């Protein structure tokens, strides 16, 4: 049973007063979902919105019979991953992979250096691990690039903004496939980047390949975002002509398209989110202030920092640790979200004390039993809110696509998830489900199935590269060149 978040009289008044920012009742959840739906609809109608609702040009989802071997690149979290993915056609796959560290200098330097490094890593992988492709033909590569990119084709798209601690120069507004291909070509590496994929799109494809058609692919990790399947005609900003072109485009074309919502940027204007002073402080001190408002309340990069800000506030009122802090507690991002998970998973208060002394450097004599309860409460507040808000994003998609009500049968709505928060944060799914029950009702929540999609970034990139290869072999262009002209 997940611990719940009701006010406790044992808490100091300074802490109790903070619960209003974190405990969300049914009315508040519905208000948030309403705001999210409005942003989805606005993003589908207009370019240039924060919630970018990006057409992925991925026009169908796999059914598990797909076969082929592709290279996949995955950039967007802590590491760069190069993999060779073999789709074996029976909902199964195998992966050979290597991880390469992306230094802080590369994250903040010139984009050319980053893309040269990526190309070198692909070269190193092909030399050290090898690929199954023949000597002469260029190897097809799917590039999972987990940042907001306004795509104009399966293999084309301009970076809108960096997120998650990346801030390379000369990248925003540039086509990231071209940046990569230029670096590969300059080094004479025989690889063709044929598909650009967001990790959420990859997760949706991978989940569908492995366990049947899914509606949503969601990442709750370092960052957060979701992709879902919508009718192409709802992407009004593309205009009727372009929509018609994309529908009749390639061998996989149809009336549906996967849309990358970029929900991490929902409510940057702060109209509906329960923004606390700790969120404002985190945002002000971040490298991307006023951006990724939702992501900063939900994702692994930030949850520890919100908890740290809350605990410091209570230390400053001398109602925690007798007013004593520590070097780690005083350091920006000094409390990692992994520690929040450890505290939430602790079976005894001694384990919490252990984290506080060993990992956070708090002197043991300043930790009273009541302090342990305050720390556990703060972690619970922040992680419960993250789970409830995550449920709001999922529910907004379910409602937007008209899947909230049963169509008469016992159909389920499937959601594939990936990321460290989804995988390691205790009680995350349970708490999301509790919020989904409040928003969609018991029946609505029961119809939702969710599960981790194994290796969405690698398998999804391979599946997209396969779509691109099929289109190339059939000599069709799945989407019109006119699309380029449409994107500002």
Write out the catalytic residue numbers: 164, 199
Nearer to ligand BGC, 58 or 378 (CB): 58
Give the pair of three-digit tokens for residue 25: 């009742």
Residue 134 beta carbon to ligand BGC: minimum distance, rounded to whole angstroms: 34
Q: Are 140 and 46 in contact (CB under 8 A)?
A: no
Nearer to ligand BGC, 150 or 199 (CB): 199
E strands, 201-319, where?
216-220, 224-231, 256-260
Nearer to ligand BGC, 250 or 264 (CB): 264
Pairing of strands 156-159, 191-197: unpaired
Nearer to ligand BGC, 145 or 209 (CB): 145
- Dihedral of CA atoms 54, 291, 296, 387 in degrees, nearest 10, equals -40
Nearer to ligand BGC, 78 or 133 (CB): 78
Residue 222 beta carbon to ligand BGC: minimum distance, rounded to whole angstroms: 6
E strands, 261-375, where?
none
Q: Alpha-carbon distance 36 to 410, whole Å?
A: 27
Q: Alpha-carbon distance 69 to 43, whole Å?
A: 35
Residue 147 beta carbon to ligand BGC: minimum distance, rounded to whole angstroms: 5
Q: Report which DSSP code applies to 358.
A: I
Instruction: Indicate if the alpha-carbon torsion angle 132, 137, 139, 140 is positive or negative.
Output: negative
Residue with tokens 């999972």: 144
Residue 196 beta carbon to ligand BGC: minimum distance, rounded to whole angstroms: 11
Q: Alpha-carbon distance 228 to 232, whole Å?
A: 12
Count of other CB atoms within 10 angstroms of residue 424:
16
Give the interface with ligand BGC as residue ranges (CB under 6 A): 76, 146-148, 163-164, 198-200, 219, 221, 223-225, 262, 264, 295
Residue 128 beta carbon to ligand BGC: minimum distance, rounded to whole angstroms: 27
Nearer to ligand BGC, 198 or 234 (CB): 198
Residue 469 beta carbon to ligand BGC: minimum distance, rounded to whole angstroms: 24
Nearest residue by C-beta to ligand BGC?
Answer: 223
CB within 8 A of 437, min separation 6: which ones? Answer: 444, 445
Q: Are 1 and 360 in contact (CB under 8 A)?
A: no
């Amino acid at each position: 049973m997940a611990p719940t978040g009701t006010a406790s009289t044992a808490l100091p008044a300074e802490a109790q007063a903070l619960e209003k920012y974190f405990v969300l009742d049914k009315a508040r959840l519905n208000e948030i979902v309403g705001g999210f739906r409005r942003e989805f609809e606005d993003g589908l109608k207009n370019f240039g919105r924060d919630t970018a609702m990006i057409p992925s040009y991925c026009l169908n989802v796999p059914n598990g019979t797909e076969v082929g071997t592709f290279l996949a690149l995955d950039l967007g979290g802590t590491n760069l991953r190069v993999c060779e993915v073999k789709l074996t056609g029976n909902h199964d796959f195998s992966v050979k992979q290597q991880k390469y560290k992306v230094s802080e200098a590369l994250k903040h330097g010139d984009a050319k250096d980053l893309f040269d490094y990526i190309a070198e890593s692909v070269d190193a992988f092909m030399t050290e691990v090898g690929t199954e492709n023949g000597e002469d033909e260029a190897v097809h590569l799917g590039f999972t690039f987990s940042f907001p990119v306004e795509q104009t084709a399966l293999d084309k798209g301009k970076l809108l903004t960096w997120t998650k601690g990346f801030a390379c120069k000369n990248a925003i507004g540039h086509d990231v496939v071209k940046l990569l291909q230029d670096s590969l070509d300059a080094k004479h590496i025989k690889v063709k980047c044929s598909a650009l994929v967001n990790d959420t799109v990859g997760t949706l494809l991978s989940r569908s390949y492995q366990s049947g058609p899914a509606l949503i692919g969601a990442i709750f990790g370092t960052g957060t975002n979701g992709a879902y399947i919508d009718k192409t005609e709802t992407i009004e900003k593309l205009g009727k002509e372009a929509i018609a072109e994309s529908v009749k485009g390639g061998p996989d074309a149809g009336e549906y398209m996967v849309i990358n919502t970029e929900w991490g940027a929902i409510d940057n204007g702060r109209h509906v989110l329960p923004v606390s002073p700790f969120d404002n402080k985190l945002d002000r001190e971040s490298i991307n202030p006023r951006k990724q408002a939702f992501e900063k309340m939900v994702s692994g990069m930030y949850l520890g920092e919100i908890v740290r800000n809350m605990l410091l506030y209570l230390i400053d009122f001398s109602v925690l640790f007798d007013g004593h802090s520590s070097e780690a507690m005083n350091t920006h991002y000094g409390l990692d979200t992994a520690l929040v998970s450890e505290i939430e998973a602790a079976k005894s208060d001694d384990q919490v004390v252990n984290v506080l002394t060993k990992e956070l450097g708090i002197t043991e004599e300043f930790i009273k039993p009541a302090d342990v309860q305050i720390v556990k409460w703060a972690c619970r507040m922040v992680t419960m809110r993250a789970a409830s808000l995550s449920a709001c994003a999922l529910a907004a998609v379910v409602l937007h696509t008209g899947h909230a009500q049963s169509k008469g049968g016992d159909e389920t709505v499937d959601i594939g998830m990936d990321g460290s928060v989804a995988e390691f944060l205790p009680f995350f799914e349970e708490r999301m489900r509790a919020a989904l029950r409040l928003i969609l009702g018991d029946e609505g929540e029961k119809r939702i199935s969710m599960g981790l999609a194994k290796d969405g970034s690698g398998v999804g990139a391979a599946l997209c590269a396969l779509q691109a290869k099929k289109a190339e072999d059939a000599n069709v262009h799945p989407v019109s060149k006119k699309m380029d002209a449409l994107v500002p």
